Amino acid sequence: MKFIHIADVHLGAEPEAGAALRGRRGREIWDTFEHVIDVCEEQNTDLLLIAGDLFHRQPLLKELKEADSMFATLNHTKVVLIAGNHDYIRSDSYYRTFRWSQNVFPLLEETPEYIEFPELETAVYGLSYHHREITEPLYDDLEPLGKQPFEILLGHGGDERHIPIDRRKLERSGFAYVAMGHIHK
């Protein structure tokens, strides 16, 4: 299996460096995201894992459509994504009603869920933010359920206000890979 793990793309972000850079930098972020999609297609990647904050804020419907149209160009790659603290799922969020392309598998519940890909012998677990801050350590006791030989955790957080993590517990959790987002390092 071949996968790419990204997080904190922040589509829709605008820099604060002045009007001259604002529009150009926003477009550069979209262009970089499009480049990731191109790499997935060129490399025949099985999974694209997006560990939260694909968008910098609540995505507009047209932004979801634009991202999904890029995902739809992928002939082989399946996309699994969660919402992070910036693009968390509010009650009026378009995430709740958007119809994604058939190769996109959003994990949008606020409690852990999983999607299985038997042809890859893989299951991907994750949960989405429904509030800007989550102070409970939701990943510390999460363990794979043995659904597939390879089980991946898609997570977002790691500080005291955004799903605190005990790294030792996470390392012992039994996941084959932990795809994290949030901490920009």
Q: List, for residues 27-58, the tens digit of each pLDDT value.
A: 899 999 999 999 999 999 999 999 999 999 99
Give the closest residue to 48 by CA, choosing from 112, 130, 122, 148: 122
144 burial (CB, 10 Å; 0-12 / 13-18 / 19+) is middle
Classify residue 129 as left (phi > 0), alpha (psi -120 to 50) or beta: beta
Give the closest residue to 48 by CA, choosing from 93, 104, 128: 104
DSSP result, 30-95: HHHHHHHHHHHHHTT-SEEEEES-SBSSSPPHHHHHHHHHHHHT-SS-EEEEE--SSS---TT-GG
* Structural tokens at position 80: 């699994």
Q: List, for residues 100-112, the tens digit of each pLDDT value.
A: 999 999 999 999 9
Q: List, for residues 141-166, the tens digit of each pLDDT value.
A: 999 999 999 999 999 999 999 999 99
- CB distance 110 to 85 below 8 Å: no
- pLDDT given at position 21: 56
Classify residue 53 as left (phi > 0), alpha (psi -120 to 50) or beta: left
Query: Residues 113-140: what's their mean pLDDT?
Result: 97
**Distance from the first to the final alpha carbon of the chain:** 26
